[in-house]
Amino acid sequence: MPENRHQTQREPLLAIVIPADDEQPVRIETLPRGIVLSRNLLGLGHDIFQVVNLDQPAASLYCNEEGKILGLEPNRRATLLGIVHNPGLRGDVIAGDAFIVGPPVHGDDTTAPIELIDVIAHQGLLQVQRSTNGEPGTWEEDALFTSWTHAYQHLERFTTTHPVRVVATTDPATFWRWLLLDTHSRSVAGVELPARPTVLACRSVDDLAEHILYAHPRRQRTFGLRGLAIQNRAPGDGQDWVAVDGGRVTPLPPLRQAIASGAFPDLIRSLHRTAG
């Protein structure tokens, strides 16, 4: 379930600003509530901006409706984001500067989805994932990239055949080195570094919970969330969960029961606080 929520009038609004000039960085801008977004970010009047609806996650992309007519510079990065999150844009081009905010609630724009902010602002690895049907627990690792534009160029090829997404992650080998050090100290039998260490990155606590509940069970299946890794060391339907954060390996209670009881979000928050 997306973490994007409707803000009160006193809370700031975050927008992802995408300049048409590739030399200018994409930036996250904090805006006060109640301003006219199109005038502030694009210098437009009310009658010439266009809103493109995005999906997975839901968002609104604002651009100049007359950008191509006016001969504005093509915005390759905004076009790429638009095509991936709205395949109906395939074959079209966004011209001029653009920005992304969250979907409107009661007619009022909301802050940009945290799932997109995490990817755009992330300085580390990004994981491209594909799913057969987009259902909970069906996402699988596809490839790793060091920039969001390269990740989006890769997954643009699959938008018409499979659900795809990009998630911020940490080098899987780092998690696995910590896990192996711990397993050796605990003398856990049968746990060794795989030929291709993988950690399935999750977008949110809800996304992590869905994968723990519904992903195909296999020993050493490892999930990640913003620097935290969760691994099940038990085979089949067994549960022997550990958390890895900042080099610390922490045994966990049975997570399926924690999810069912509603205690899982507090457990994850406590792990992040301890690591910090």
Q: Per-residue pLDDT tens for 124-180?
A: 899 999 887 777 778 888 899 999 999 999 988 775 667 889 999 988 777 777 666
* Average pLDDT over all residues of the chain: 82
The Cα 146–Cα 153 span in angstroms is 12
Confidence category of residue 6, pLDDT binned at 50, 70, 90: very low
pTM, rounded to two decimals: 0.80
Contact status, residue 63 vs residue 98, Cβ threshold 8 Å:
yes
Contact status, residue 59 vs residue 100, Cβ threshold 8 Å:
yes
Query: Which pLDDT value is given to residue 5?
Result: 43
What six digits make up the tokens of 69?
């007519």
Confidence category of residue 105, pLDDT binned at 50, 70, 90: confident
Query: Which pLDDT value is given to residue 135?
Result: 79
How far lies 92's CA from each of 122, 150, 175, in Å?
Answer: 28, 20, 41
The Cα 50–Cα 62 span in angstroms is 6
The Cα 178–Cα 184 span in angstroms is 10
Q: Which amino acid is at 31?
A: L
pLDDT at 43 over 80: no
3-state secondary structure of 77: helix
Confidence category of residue 49, pLDDT binned at 50, 70, 90: confident
Contact status, residue 265 vs residue 215, Cβ threshold 8 Å:
no
Give the highest mean pLDDT range of 6-20, 38-52, 255-269.
255-269
First-to-last alpha carbon distance for the chain, in angstroms, is 25
Smallest CA-to-CA distance from 224 within 242, 208, 240 is with 208
**Bridge partner list, 28:** 16
Chain-centroid distance, C-alpha 7: 20
Contact status, residue 37 vs residue 15, Cβ threshold 8 Å:
yes
3-state secondary structure of 103: strand
Give the highest mean pLDDT range of 14-23, 101-110, 150-159, 247-256.
14-23
Query: Which pLDDT value is given to residue 102?
Result: 92
The Cα 231–Cα 208 span in angstroms is 11
Query: Which pLDDT value is given to residue 13?
Result: 85
Chain-centroid distance, C-alpha 22: 23
The Cα 16–Cα 4 span in angstroms is 14
What six digits make up the tokens of 185?
């100290």
> How many other C-beta atoms lie within 10 A of the C-beta of residue 6?
14
Which of 158-162, 219-223, 258-262 has the lowest average pLDDT? 158-162
Confidence category of residue 188, pLDDT binned at 50, 70, 90: very low
Contact status, residue 124 vs residue 169, Cβ threshold 8 Å:
yes
Contact status, residue 160 vs residue 143, Cβ threshold 8 Å:
no
The Cα 133–Cα 217 span in angstroms is 18
User: Higher pLDDT residue, 122 or 40?
Assistant: 122
Question: Could you give the percent of the chain with pLDDT greater than 70?
Answer: 79
Which of 39-43, 101-105, 235-239, 270-274 has the lowest average pLDDT? 39-43
- The mean pLDDT value for 225-254 works out to 86
Confidence category of residue 61, pLDDT binned at 50, 70, 90: very high
Query: Which pLDDT value is given to residue 17?
Result: 93
Q: Per-residue pLDDT tens for 10-37?
A: 577 899 999 999 999 999 988 766 545 5
